[in-house]
Amino acid sequence: MILPSVGRGGLGFEPPPPHESPEREELFGLIERHAKALPRYTSYPTVPYWDAEFGEAEYVDALDDAGDAPDQPLSVYVHLPFCGKRCYYCGCNAIAGHRAEVVDRYIERLSWEIEGVVDRIGVGRSVSQIHWGGGTPNFLTDAQTARLFGMLESAFHIEADAEVSIEMDPRVATASQPPLLKRLGFNRISMGVQDFDHRVQVAIGRIQPESDTVSLLEWSRTAGFESVNFDLVYGLPYQTSESFARTLHRVVELAPDRIATFSYAHLPQVRRIQRAVDATGLPDNRAKLGLFLDTVEVFEEAGYQWIGFDHFATPDDELSVAARERRLLRNFMGYTTHAAPDQVAFGMSGIGCLAGRFVQNDPRIKNWEESLEAGHFPIVRGHRLSLDDQVRSYVIQHLMCNLELPDDLTSEPFGAPMAELFARDLPGLAPYVEEGFLERTATGWDVTSTGRFFLRNIASVFDAYLVDSADRPTFSSTV
Ligand code: SF4
C-alpha cells in the first residue's frame, strides 16, 4: 500500500502524492499493471448486456407494475438533444443547430410520451428528482422551457424538496434563463466548462470565452441558485500540467459548489465526430493520470471533498455529507441523495429504471418521433433484473459511491451476509487486498486511498457478465 487509508470520519482520504514523487511513480506503475477495459458501472448490468428484444410490451408491463406502487416517488429524466454546434469531443446524444419549430415538434412528442406514461402509472405521482440533460437543455427558448416544465407539473406532483437540475452551456445562456429556471422550480445548475485554455478549446471545437462561464455563474447566483456545478474534462489535446493547473485554480477562485471531472475517451472509430479532434496533442496515459492527480490535489487543498471517483463538493454539500455517512447514491443522472427507486426517462436515448427493469429509448430522433406519432413507446432495449443482478447492482453501486463493501447485507432485501451471497466471487478480491487497495475492518472492507483509483477493478469482481465472456464489448480504459 503506498498511501494510508484513514478510514471513516473527517474528509476520509489522504491527498494524492505530489508531482514527480516516488509515490506518484509507484501509483503510475500500479495503474499500468491493473489497466483493463472496464465499464464505468453507471448501471449493472451495463448497457451492452441489455436485451434488444426488450421492447414496448415489456416496457408497458414495467409501467403497469410501477403503477401498482402509486405512493412510491419517482425520478424523472428528460433528454433535450439540441446544441448550437457540435463539439468535436462530444460523446453525448446531441443534434447540432435546429430551428425553433424542430424543437417545438420535439416538445410536442415529449408531451405525448409523458401522457402515455402517466396513463399507465397514474397522474400526479410524487417526484423527488428531475434532471434535464442533453445536448444543451438551455438551447430551448424561455417559452419552450416554461412549456416543457408546465407539462411535467401537470403530469406529476413535484415534491417541495425535490432536486430539480439542468445542464447548461454558458455559450448559449442568456441573462433571462437562470431567473426563469428558478421561478419554475429548478434548484441546481450544472454548466459545461471543460477547460479555460484557448488552445485546448480550439483542438476540441468548443470556443468558450471565460467571460461566458463567469456571466452564467453570476446570473445563477443572482437568481438565487445555491447549487452550481462545473463540469471539467481531463485528457484533452494540449492539456499540460501547467495549463490545466491554471484552469483548476481559476475554478477554485470561481467557487462552484460541485465539480465533476470527466476523463476524455478518444474513440474516433466509435464516435465519428471525434475525428475532428486535433489528436496530435493528446496526452499519453501517464500524463492524463497526472492531470487527474493534480485535480484531486488542487481541489482537496482548496477544501473540496472528493466524492466517488471523479466528483468534488464543498464539505457541507449534501453529497459530501451523504458520502461521509456512506449513504450516497448514483443513478443515470449522476451522484445524488434524492434518487427514487424508479426512474422514468423521456426523450430520445433516455434511460429509465422501472419496477426492476432497465429500459432505453431509441437514440435516433427520427425513429423516436415516428414511434410516438404511431402511438408507440420508442423502446430499443432493456433488461429485467434478476435477484442476482439486483444484489450485485447494490454492492457495485455502494462500492462506487461509499467506498466500502459491507459484510452485512441482511438488512437489504437480499437477506444474507456477503460471505454467503458472494462465496464464489470473494476470492477475486484477494489480489486487491494484497496490493493494498482494500483493507479489512470489523464490518467489511474499506477502499484505501490507493484503492480509490481501482474502484472499477474492484467492482468488476462482482460483475457476473464479465466472467468467461468471449464477446465482451469494449469499454474505455481505467482512468
Ligand atoms: S454542448 Fe455538450 S452535448 Fe452539445 S455538442 Fe458540445 S459536448 Fe456535445
pLDDT bin (cut points 50, 70, 90) of residue 14 is low
Q: Among the atoms of ligand 1, which is closest to the Cα of residue 81?
A: 3
Contact 339/354 with Cβ under 8 angstroms? Answer: no
Of residues 407 and 190, the one with the higher pLDDT is: 190
Mean pLDDT score, 372-392: 96
Nearest CA to ligand 1 atom 5: 86
Q: Among the atoms of ligand 1, which is closest to the Cα of residue 86?
A: 5
pLDDT in tens, 43-82: 999 999 999 999 999 999 999 999 999 999 999 999 999 9
- According to DSSP, the β-strands at 227-234 and 351-354 are unpaired
Q: How far is the CA of 292 from the centre of ligand 1 (A)?
A: 22
> Nearest CA to 409 among 396, 401, 400?
396
Whole-number pLDDT of residue 98: 78
pLDDT bin (cut points 50, 70, 90) of residue 475 is very low
For the chain, how many helices (H) and strands (E)? 15, 19
Q: Please give, one letter per residue, the 3-state secondary structure of 390-449.
A: HHHHHHHHHHHHHCEEECCCCCCCCCCCHHHHCCCCHHHHHHHHHHCCEEECCCEEEECC
Question: What is the average pLDDT score of the chain?
Answer: 91
Q: How far is the CA of 83 from the centre of ligand 1 (A)?
A: 6
Whole-number pLDDT of residue 421: 87
Test site for ligand 1: of 136, 264, 348, most ligand atoms within 8 A of the Cβ: 136
Nearest CA to ligand 1 atom 8: 90
What CA–CA distance (Å, rounded) separates 26 from 352? 41
Whole-number pLDDT of residue 477: 38
Is the pLDDT at 197 greater than 70? The verdict is: yes
Is the pLDDT at 479 greater than 80? The verdict is: no
Domains of the chain by start residue, with CATH: 1-45+386-479 (1.10.10.920), 52-345 (3.80.30.20)
Whole-number pLDDT of residue 467: 67
Is the pLDDT at 404 greater than 80? The verdict is: yes
Whole-number pLDDT of residue 474: 39
Torsions phi, psi of 29, nearest 5? -60, -45
Q: How far is the CA of 299 from the centre of ligand 1 (A)?
A: 25
Whole-number pLDDT of residue 465: 93
Mean pLDDT score, 364-374: 97
> Nearest CA to 191 among 183, 200, 181, 205?
181
Q: How far is the CA of 174 from the centre of ligand 1 (A)?
A: 17
Q: How far is the CA of 94 from the centre of ligand 1 (A)?
A: 6
Mean pLDDT score, 22-26: 87
pLDDT in tens, 389-398: 999 999 999 9
pLDDT bin (cut points 50, 70, 90) of residue 13 is low
Nearest CA to ligand 1 atom 7: 90
SS3 155: helix
Test site for ligand 1: of 82, 98, 167, 169, most ligand atoms within 8 A of the Cβ: 169
Whole-number pLDDT of residue 246: 97
Of residues 345 and 406, the one with the higher pLDDT is: 345
pLDDT in tens, 263-298: 999 999 999 999 999 999 999 989 999 999 999 999
Q: How far is the CA of 171 from the centre of ligand 1 (A)?
A: 11
Whole-number pLDDT of residue 18: 67
Is the pLDDT at 336 greater than 70? The verdict is: yes
Mean pLDDT score, 188-197: 98
What CA–CA distance (Å, rounded) separates 262 from 91? 11
Whole-number pLDDT of residue 6: 33
Mean pLDDT score, 336-352: 93
The per-residue DSSP string of 349-363 comes to: T-EEEETTEEEEE-S
pLDDT cut 70: percent of the chain above it? 93
Contacts of 222 (CB under 8 A, 6+ apart): 178, 179
Is the pLDDT at 160 greater than 90? The verdict is: yes
What CA–CA distance (Å, rounded) separates 420 from 422? 6
Q: How far is the CA of 192 from the centre of ligand 1 (A)?
A: 9
Pocket of ligand 1 (CB under 6 A): 83, 86-87, 90, 92, 94, 134-136, 169, 192
pLDDT in tens, 171-191: 999 999 999 999 999 999 999
Looking at residue 168, what DSSP letter applies?
E
Q: Among the atoms of ligand 1, which is closest to the Cα of residue 171?
A: 1
pLDDT bin (cut points 50, 70, 90) of residue 305 is very high
Alpha carbon 190 to its chain centroid, in Å, reads 12
Is the pLDDT at 94 greater than 80? The verdict is: yes
Is the pLDDT at 473 greater than 80? The verdict is: no
> Nearest CA to 225 among 279, 164, 283, 273?
164
Q: How far is the CA of 251 from the centre of ligand 1 (A)?
A: 20
What CA–CA distance (Å, rounded) separates 179 from 87? 27
pLDDT in tens, 410-453: 776 677 888 888 999 999 999 999 999 999 999 999 999 999 99
Is the pLDDT at 309 greater than 90? The verdict is: no
Q: Among the atoms of ligand 1, which is closest to the Cα of residue 96?
A: 5
